[in-house]
Chains A and B, each alone.
Chain A
Amino acid sequence: MRERSRDQGGPGTLTDDLVIPEVDPSSLADEPLADLAARHGLRPSAIRPGVFAYARQLWERRHFIVSFATARNVAMYTEARLGQLWQVLTPLLNAAVYYLIFGIILDTSRGVPNFLAFLITGIFIFNFTQRAFITTSRVMSDSLPLIRALPFPRACLPIGYVLIELEQLVMSMIVLTVIVLVTGEPLTWYWLLALPALALQALFNVGMGLSMARVGAGADDFSQLLPFLIRTWLYFSGVMFSIQTIGSLRHHHTLTHLLQINPAAVYIGLVRNSILQTQRIGWPGSKPYNAANCALYHTGKKPYLEYSAYCHGTVSMNGLWLWGIGWAIVAVVVGFVFFWQAETRYGRG
């Protein structure tokens, strides 16, 4: 037990030769201190506010969250010679690499019309969620000095980090718009639907980010493991292939359904359907059921998405929106409560 007693000694045990007089018990009140504090209206300093009071405190710090995110975003590239240009270059390079691998070398297009726009939309949308997850899982240990220096609702930090990613996403979306228009997609009113879709995705990311922040604050092992989990998720979310047209999935109805309702696939699907006409018109169930045309698609004679529109959809377009709203609400409510429960423990390291 020698080890244990050394642990308990702490950093104060430099020498043991100091003569220490007896502890002076004077000047303490006779009544229990808790009663004294209560009589004078004092409250515990490390107490967690109620969940609604916490939400209100968070709302009062909204300016802090926005300024924090903007300042971090600006500071992110100050060391680089090209500076803020990287905000545009990073998504462009990402798109180029994925197109080279999946579009040209592996050729996973498999009958997806306008594969380049399809692929890059998927990557950019997934990247938003991926970056949000990874950065928020590290936010509490990264910000330990700030947490120990200033009192503020800690949820400001993960929310701020998601906001940083949202600001980056705006850059990506500008790049994406150019690419999509260049590949020949028309600019239609449907494009406006991308805004609510991205808003829902941002809400989902905030909720999940709060959960990631709490789990990541507990053990560093989690943030080491997370990139692998997310990469697996990427391959299941139909980013570089279409869940509907991939041959091996065509006869597994339940599996296709499960893959399509997973949050990443839902938000990717929503954005693709708003900005890519080739995707929208091929979405199963978007045209009246026509057995002959659908059969053509299923037998593989006409594997193009245009014919899949005549089949019964696994998840209809409206269903996709409902799933998107549902995931966002569940993530925010669960994430917020889960993060709030540990509010007073974040400073411990």
Chain B
Amino acid sequence: MASGPVATNGAEPIVVVDDLHVVYRVFGAGGDKGTAATALMRVIKRQRRPSVREVHAIRGISFVINHGDAVGIIGRNGSGKSTLLQAIAGLLPPEQGCVYTSGQAALLGVNAALLDDLTGERNVVLGCLAMGMTPQETKERFQSIVDFSGVGSFIDYPMRTYSTGMAQRLRFSIASAKHHEILMIDEALATGDANFRAKSHGRIVQLRADAGTVFLVSHSLTEIEASCNRVIWLERGKIVRQGYDVPAIIDAYLEATGGEPRQRDKPEHNDHGADH
């Protein structure tokens, strides 16, 4: 598709990550007895607080993502997948390097707690307003958001009473209610039931069809293979492999982490994600 005005090889970049480094600080990490006396000694000796640790989570990543790509990000726990998405969304500022995007990326994650004390209904309204919708738009979309989430009568209960799956369904419904050029999903569909997975998969396909770009972090390699045309494998904050050859990279990943090699010749290989 040569729709872009200056597209060189038919692809138009939408996200460019240029030598990105992300460092975040963690308070309250171990390493101190935690008494007032040790704290005083530290101040006298002019030492840094040992309980503040700097975590160098992303260490020099570069890639270019084009319009209409669905990018799967794989890697072991703590390899920097979620941090990368937060940096692309502009929520975690880079220490070095830069992320360029065409607009605001919407991030949908497991930790994306809205306001737990408030009812689901309040959260829908606040979420829509925070994304920049007008009160009129919010009112119009409200019912469809609630219907899509399928939380039913729980919408009047505080969100802290929700099960993990229900809370995530509501969050996904809120975030996907607005058209985003870039939608990033961080394990957000992992706890939904089979019915909701099918529904949300439909939304992702539709978003891609609208020339949007989707990032998907998941430990379900089946889901990645079914939804994505491109994959990035992260390890300790660096890219190990990336490219459009999704099955080959997933196989290499499985081999490196000691997982079972995938069987692809069978049409039905799992309980979900098979019929796309």
Contacts and interface: CB of A to CB of B under 8 A. Distances in A.
Instruction: Report whether chain A binds chain B.
Output: yes
Interface of A: 7-14, 18-21, 23-24, 26-29, 32-34, 36-47, 60-61, 63-64, 67-68, 71-72, 75, 78, 145-152, 156, 220, 344-345, 347-349
Interface of B: 4, 6, 12-19, 24-27, 53-57, 62-64, 76-80, 86-94, 98-102, 104-105, 107, 109, 111-115, 117-118, 122, 125-127, 129-132, 134-135, 158, 235-243, 252, 256-257
A36 B243 CA distance: 19
20 contacts: A10-B55, A11-B77, A12-B237, A14-B78, A23-B240, A27-B242, A32-B18, A34-B100, A37-B13, A42-B14, A45-B89, A45-B90, A46-B99, A67-B129, A148-B91, A148-B92, A149-B112, A150-B112, A347-B91, A349-B26
B93 A345 contact: yes
Contacts of A61: 129-130, 132
A67 B6 contact: no
Nearest to A343: B93
A21 B240 contact: yes
Q: Which of B57, B77, B92 has most chain A Cβ within 10 Å? A: B92
B252 A348 contact: no
A345 to B, nearest CB: 6
Contacts of A8: 54, 56
A219 B93 CA distance: 18
A246 to B, nearest CB: 39
A347 B92 contact: yes
Contact of B129 (A33, A63, A151): A63
A101 B114 CA distance: 42
A43 B104 CA distance: 10
Given A26-B243, A145-B111, 16 more contacts: A7-B54, A12-B78, A14-B77, A24-B241, A27-B242, A33-B16, A33-B100, A34-B98, A40-B4, A45-B90, A60-B132, A61-B132, A151-B90, A152-B130, A156-B130, A347-B92
Nearest to A148: B91
Given A24-B239, A24-B241, A36-B16, A18 B257 contact: yes
A199 to B, nearest CB: 24
Main secondary structure of the interface of B (DSSP, over half): mixed
Contact of B130 (A28, A36, A64): A64
Q: Which of B127, B158, B236 has most chain A Cβ within 10 Å? A: B236
A146 B113 contact: yes
A71 B101 contact: no
B28 to A, nearest CB: 10
B93 A348 contact: yes
Contact of B87 (A29, A46, A151): A46
Contact of B101 (A43, A67, A72): A43
A33 B126 contact: no
B122 A150 contact: no
B216 to A, nearest CB: 17
A40 B6 contact: yes
Nearest to B17: A33
A18 B256 contact: yes
Contacts of B115: 71-72, 75, 146
Nearest to A346: B93
B237 A14 contact: no
A42 B13 contact: yes
List the 10 closest A-B pairs by CB distance, nearest first: A37-B100, A45-B90, A149-B112, A42-B100, A64-B129, A11-B78, A33-B18, A75-B117, A12-B236, A37-B16
Given A7-B53, A37-B16, A61-B132, A349 B24 contact: yes
Contacts of B90: 45-47, 151, 344
Contact of B117 (A13, A19, A21, A78): A78
Contact of B126 (A27, A44, A64, A151): A64
Given A61-B132, A149-B109, A67 B57 contact: no
A67 B127 CA distance: 10
Contacts of A156: 130
Given A10-B55, A36-B16, A146-B115, A349 B25 contact: yes
A20 B113 contact: no
Contact of A28 (B63, B89, B112): B63
A12 B100 contact: no
Nearest to B257: A18
Contacts of A44: 98-100
A309 B39 CA distance: 55
Contacts of A18: 76, 235, 256-257
Contacts of B6: 39-40
A24 B25 CA distance: 29
A166 to B, nearest CB: 19
Contacts of B16: 33, 36-37, 40, 42
